[in-house]
Structure 1
């Protein structure tokens, strides 16, 4: 059980597997106004940076679930590095369908809503683990500007313009599902640069160290295409943010 290999190679040096910077996560942690002891469930927790830094800075406890063995291992190492291994737990498991035995104060899926077939399905999944009156954190992409054609959308790496909503439409969709949007923190282009560009050096170093690996051709292809795609399309068209929801 694991995620596609291209991600465990290209993002192996990432602490954050989305367009947030450490400063953005710090902002999000502050605006949530969490009390010490707040318990968070994070589905698709990656390398654990959100839970680990919030445990250090806000005294929260947390459980992270991620399908990547590498990222889950890195999360445990990060917890030890920050001295919070007694406050956060990381489980290598498929987050799709995961329901906590004990309900939490905050349930999050920050950038992996494919686990529920999209934002609506992931919200439904998270609510099964959430205490009444708790908060949901949903990390989701949106169009900063609408691509003029489906061909441009495909150049961004998706199938069609219909794959994402605009920011106003995304916020309205949460309202339609019966939730108040009570906070949001949005990534910026610098965050996209750090997320995407950091992959390129990692892939180049991997190719130098693994020239005969059977997967080298795929990594070379990705490295060749990714910088051009990012500067021409991703950086201009993609937005991303974490939206804080409370049921009505």
Structure 2
């Protein structure tokens, strides 16, 4: 059980595996202002930047769960670097069925609602670990502009325009699930640029170092088309944000 090599190659330098800058992650932490000792469960935690930086900045404690052994190794190293290894722990496993042994104050799934089969299932999954009055964090794409054709849909890594909602409809969906939206921090076009452009550089450096690898042809083809595809489709049409929810 692990992520594909191609994914970890593209995002080998990333600390945040979403179109979210370090500053935006910090803004979210400042907005929520968790008290020291707040317990956090981060499902599909990636390289652990949320847990590690919030442990440093706010004194939270918590656990991250992810299927990527590569990213978990980075998360543990980051915890040591920031001197928070006593506050956070990282577990290799399938986040789609992970429930905390004891209720947590914040349950997070930032950018991986596929673990619950979508937003509704992920909210239900997080609720199973959350204490009464706790906060859920959901990171999710939305349409900045309605895609005009199927090429735009596929250029945003979707199969159908129905895969994502417009922002007002996404916020309404949270309400239909019985949640109040109590905070949100949205990515912008620069956030997207920082996220995907780093993938291009990671890919090019890997290709230069591994020209004979079995993935070289695939990643070379991706790198050839990715910048224009991003500028034409994803940058213009796809938004992304983290939404803080509380049960009504």
**Native 8 Å contact 1:61 1:88 kept in 2:** yes
**Native 8 Å contact 1:181 1:243 kept in 2:** yes
Corresponding position of 2:100: 100
Alignment of 1:203 with 2:197, yes or no, is: no
**Native 8 Å contact 2:18 2:195 kept in 1:** yes
Give the TM-score normalised by structure 1. Answer: 0.98
Give the TM-score normalised by structure 2. Answer: 0.98
In 1, Cα distance between the equivalents of 2:49 and 2:161? 31
Q: Deviations over 1:124-143 (max 9, x none)?
A: 00110100110000000000
Map 1:79-158 → 2, pairs under 5 A: 79-158=79-158
Once the two structures are TM-superposed, the CA of residue 238 in structure 1 deviates from its matched residue by: 0.7
Counterpart secondary structure, 2:97? coil
**Native 8 Å contact 2:33 2:58 kept in 1:** no
Corresponding position of 1:5: 5
- Cα RMSD, aligned residues only: 0.8
Once the two structures are TM-superposed, the CA of residue 150 in structure 1 deviates from its matched residue by: 2.4
Q: Deviations over 1:49-84 (max 9, x none)?
A: 111000000000010001110000000000000000
Counterpart secondary structure, 1:96? helix
Map 1:220-235 → 2, pairs under 5 A: 220-235=220-235
Structure 1 stretches (4+) deviating beyond 6 angstroms? none
In 2, Cα distance between the equivalents of 1:141 and 1:107? 19
Counterpart secondary structure, 2:185? strand
Aligned residues: 248
In 1, Cα distance between the equivalents of 2:157 and 2:103? 36
Once the two structures are TM-superposed, the CA of residue 155 in structure 1 deviates from its matched residue by: 2.4
Once the two structures are TM-superposed, the CA of residue 157 in structure 1 deviates from its matched residue by: 2.0
In 2, Cα distance between the equivalents of 1:118 and 1:182? 20
In 2, Cα distance between the equivalents of 1:180 and 1:237? 26
Once the two structures are TM-superposed, the CA of residue 161 in structure 1 deviates from its matched residue by: 1.0
Map 1:57-96 → 2, pairs under 5 A: 57-96=57-96
Once the two structures are TM-superposed, the CA of residue 94 in structure 1 deviates from its matched residue by: 1.3
Counterpart secondary structure, 1:148? coil
Once the two structures are TM-superposed, the CA of residue 221 in structure 1 deviates from its matched residue by: 1.4
Alignment of 1:217 with 2:217, yes or no, is: yes
